[in-house]
C-alpha cells in the first residue's frame, strides 16, 4: 500500500509540473528547455523555509511567488528571441541554476538538503493533497484555456506578428504565461521536496526538463487532459519498469522524437482523429 501511495503522490506532482509547462509551451507557444530550474526554485525555497521553522503550507505561496518572479525575469530576457534561440536561452537557465546551487554551501552544495521537516500530514494525507492540488491546477488551466486570455495565448502561439498588427500587447501575454507557468512549477517543486525529503542539484537538471517536455508532447501539446495522461503515464513507467531509470534520457528523448515525427498532436491528437473518423463514419450517406 505504501508503494501505491508514493507512486500516486509522485504522479500528482508530475501532473502539476507538466501542466505548468503546458501553460507556456502548449498555450502560448513558447519553447522552454529549462523548466526544471523553476521546479528547483520552488523545492529549495520551501525546504529552506521549512528548515528555518516555517510551516510547510506557509512556504507554498512563497515558493510560487519566487519561482514566478524568476520566471518573469527569464521571460523578459527571452522576449527578443524565438523558436530555436528561445529554446537555447531557456536551456541555459537550468544549467545556471544547477551551477549556482552546487557552489552555494548554504543551499547544501553538492550534497543537497536532506531531513526536510514534515508537513504534518501522513503519507495518505499528503497523497490526497498532491492529487487535490493537481486537480485544482487542471481546473485552473482549463479555465485559462477557455477564457479570453487563452484565446489570446492561442493567437500568439499561431502567429504573434498578426496579433501585434491587431493591437495585442504580445510581450505582456508572453510574460503572463511565463509567470503563471513558472509559479505552478514552483508549487510542484515545494511538493517534490516535501515528498522525497531530499533535494539536490541533480534533481533539477536538463534531464528533468526533457522529462517534463516529453510528458507534454506525449500527451498532446496544448491539451489539458492529454498532458495529465502523459504526465501520469510517463511518471509511472520508471516505477513499473526499473530499467527505464538507467536510460531515462534515452527513453524520453525517444518519446519526443517519435511523437514529433509521427504524431505531433500526441495521444490527444490520436484520440481526436479517431473520434472524427468515427463521427464521419456515422454520418448519413457515409459509405458502409
Instruction: Give me the pLDDT at residue 288, please.
Output: 43
Q: For residue 242, give the C-alpha cell.
A: 526499473
**Do 232 and 15 form a contact (C-beta atoms < 8 A)?**
yes
Nearest alpha carbon to residue 259 among 236, 227, 235: 227
Percent of all residues in the chain with a pLDDT value above 70, rounded to a whole number: 91
**Do 53 and 200 form a contact (C-beta atoms < 8 A)?**
no
Instruction: Give me the pLDDT at residue 84, please.
Output: 67
Q: Does position 119 have pLDDT exceeding 90, yes or no?
A: no
How many CB atoms within 10 Å of residue 173? 19
Domains of the chain, start order: 2-281 (1.10.3470)
Cα 176 from chain centroid? 16
Model pLDDT for residues 23-75, shown as the tens digit of each residue:
999 998 888 888 999 999 999 999 999 999 999 999 999 999 999 999 999 88
Place 85 in a pLDDT band, splitting at 50, 70 and 90.
Answer: confident
Average pLDDT value over all residues in the chain: 87
Instruction: Give me the pLDDT at residue 83, please.
Output: 64
Lowest mean pLDDT among 69-73, 161-165, 255-259: 255-259
Q: Does position 107 have pLDDT exceeding 90, yes or no?
A: no
**Do 157 and 35 form a contact (C-beta atoms < 8 A)?**
no
Model pLDDT for residues 265-283, shown as the tens digit of each residue:
778 877 777 777 777 666 6
Measured distance CA(230)–CA(3) in Å, rounded: 21
Percent of all residues in the chain with a pLDDT value above 90, rounded to a whole number: 50
Secondary structure of the chain in HEC code, one letter for each residue: CHHHHHHHHHHHHHHHHHHHHHHHHHHCCCCCCCCHHHHHHHHHHHHHHHHCCCCHHHHHHHHHHHHHHHHHHHHHHHCCCCHHHHHHHHHHHHHHHHHHHHHCHHHCHHHCEECCCCCCCCHHHHHHHHHHHHHHHHHHHHHHHHCHHHHHHHHHHHHHHHHHHCCCCHHHHHHHHHHHHHHHHHHHHHHHHHHHCEECHHHHCHHHHHHHHHHHHHHCCCCHHHHHHHHHHHHHHHHHCHHHHHHHHHHHHHHHHHHHHHCCCHHHHHHHHHHHHHHHHCCCCCCC
Amino acid at each position: 500500500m505504501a508503494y501505491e501511495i508514493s507512486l500516486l503522490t509522485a504522479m500528482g506532482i508530475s501532473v502539476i509540473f507538466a501542466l505548468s509547462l503546458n501553460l507556456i509551451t502548449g498555450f502560448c507557444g513558447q519553447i522552454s528547455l529549462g523548466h526544471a530550474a523553476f521546479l528547483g526554485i520552488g523545492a529549495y525555497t520551501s525546504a529552506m523555509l521549512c528548515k528555518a521553522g516555517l510551516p510547510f503550507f506557509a512556504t507554498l505561496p512563497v515558493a510560487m511567488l519566487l519561482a514566478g518572479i524568476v520566471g518573469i525575469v527569464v521571460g523578459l530576457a527571452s522576449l527578443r528571441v524565438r523558436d530555436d534561440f528561445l529554446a537555447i536561452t531557456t536551456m541555459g537557465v537550468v544549467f545556471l541554476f544547477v551551477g549556482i546551487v552546487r557552489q552555494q554551501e548554504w543551499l547544501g552544495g553538492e550534497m543537497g538538503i536532506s531531513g526536510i521537516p514534515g508537513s504534518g500530514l501522513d503519507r495518505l494525507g499528503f497523497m490526497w493533497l498532491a492529487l487535490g492540488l493537481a486537480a485544482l491546477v487542471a481546473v485552473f488551466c482549463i479555465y485559462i484555456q477557455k477564457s479570453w486570455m487563452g484565446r489570446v495565448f492561442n493567437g500568439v502561439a499561431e502567429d504573434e506578428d498578426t496579433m501585434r498588427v491587431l493591437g495585442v500587447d504580445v510581450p505582456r501575454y508572453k510574460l503572463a504565461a511565463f509567470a503563471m507557468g513558472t509559479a505552478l512549477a514552483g508549487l510542484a517543486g515545494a511538493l517534490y521536496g516535501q515528498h522525497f525529503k531530499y533535494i539536490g542539484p541533480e534533481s533539477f537538471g536538463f534531464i528533468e526538463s526533457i522529462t517534463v517536455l516529453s510528458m507534454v508532447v506525449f500527451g498532446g501539446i496544448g491539451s489539458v487532459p492529454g498532458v495529465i495522461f502523459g504526465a501520469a503515464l510517463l511518471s509511472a513507467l520508471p516505477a513499473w519498469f526499473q530499467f527505464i531509470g538507467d536510460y531515462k534520457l534515452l527513453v524520453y528523448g525517444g518519446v519526443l522524437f517519435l511523437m514529433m515525427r509521427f504524431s505531433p498532436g500526441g495521444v490527444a491528437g490520436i484520440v481526436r482523429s479517431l473520434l472524427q473518423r468515427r463521427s464521419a463514419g456515422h454520418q448519413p450517406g457515409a459509405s458502409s
